[in-house]
Structure 1
């Protein structure tokens, strides 16, 4: 009875172990080509070989025997040692993918380099345009300064001429006023002498 229970327990354990590894993708190790058997051991008949790097599907695993039941690309179901399986893709499968990734990265780097060159050219063009604008503004500013200096000189000359005119006008008015005052003073001095002498002449004639 105990033996029957032990057998049942072993069977259940193996079943659970096989179920846990069902439909698991694995790869034949790159270092070898391996024989596949009809059962979990070398005592079973060899039904073919698998090349290094081939992808297989693990259907179940016999932990005690160290074998896995697999299905290959030819849809054959067979057994082979667990240590001849790898969880990572083989180099034969990874090299084309890596080459594609390298090609994609090279293309992207080429595009990035082209975009960078275009951006650099655009920036240089903008900087050149900005330099031209700055130079034009500086020249215009210098022209305005020169015009301001000329205008200031003209204003100064006009102020000098205006001061001369004002002094000339003031002098003319002073001379005119002095002349008028002198004539008035002269008339005032001569007029009293002229009027009495006329009266004396009038009396004498009478």
Structure 2
């Protein structure tokens, strides 16, 4: 029997020591919460022996009105129902509850998804523009190649025409020169007319 009582006393002391380790050093302020996954009682005073005013669900946003470090209790005010009472300090945290984090995270997720959809849409539009630019570039390259071939053909035709024109000019010049030489030869063989003075000699 004594051993049972000794074990109970040790367990009680261990719970008290655990409570002292987890007691947060918080000043009176708002933006605090009841820890998640807990269901605690609100008392009318700073201790378990005070009358229970009701229960406080996990994740409930609260305002700390007073912190009794000796009794390890805090006087709080609920944001939902406006009740005021005392709860154990170890069950109070300054981390936002999951219940309040969920809509914020959901909103951020929705914004991220909308941003992602916008980026995907923009990416698709840029891909279409890139594809269109590549097609235009290929068309311009084809036109450039065709124009280069036409210019080459025209240059070759013009060069041939110049050669033909030069041949014609050389031929005409040769014909004129030949005709002049032939005329000179003919003139040398023609008999000269005698003058009147030579007839009376």
* Alignment TM-score > 0.5, same fold: yes
Aligned position for 1:136: 143
* 1:53 matches 2:52: no
Listed as ranges, the matches of 1:80-159 within 5 Å are: 80-159=87-166
Aligned position for 2:85: 78
Match of 1:21 among 19, 27, 32: 27
Listed as ranges, the matches of 1:26-41 within 5 Å are: 26-41=32-47
Q: RMSD of aligned C-alpha atoms?
A: 2.0
Q: CA offset at residue 168 of structure 1?
A: 0.9
Q: CA offset at residue 181 of structure 1?
A: 2.6
TM-score (norm 2): 0.80
- Rg bigger for which structure? 1
* 1:69 matches 2:75: yes
Which segments of 5 or more consecutive residues in structure 1 lack a partner in the other structure? 1-19, 201-206
Supply the distance in 2 between the matched residues of 1:66 and 1:109 (Cα, whole angstroms).
48
Please identify runs of 4+ aligned residues in structure 1 that moved more than 3 A: none
Q: Deviations over 1:144-198 (max 9, x none)?
A: 1101101111110111121111111001001112212332xx327xx48x976x5
Q: CA offset at residue 123 of structure 1?
A: 1.8
Supply the distance in 2 between the matched residues of 1:130 and 1:114 (Cα, whole angstroms).
24
Aligned position for 1:164: 171
Supply the distance in 2 between the matched residues of 1:131 and 1:85 (Cα, whole angstroms).
69
Supply the distance in 2 between the matched residues of 1:97 and 1:175 (Cα, whole angstroms).
114
Q: Report the CA distance shift for 1:187/1:76 in structure 2 as closer, same or farther (over 3 A).
A: same
Which segments of 5 or more consecutive residues in structure 2 lack a partner in the other structure? 1-25
Aligned position for 1:5: none
Listed as ranges, the matches of 1:153-192 within 5 Å are: 153-183=160-190, 186-187=191-192, 191=194
TM-score (norm 1): 0.79
Supply the distance in 2 between the matched residues of 1:131 and 1:37 (Cα, whole angstroms).
81
Structure with higher helix content: 1
- Paired residue total: 175
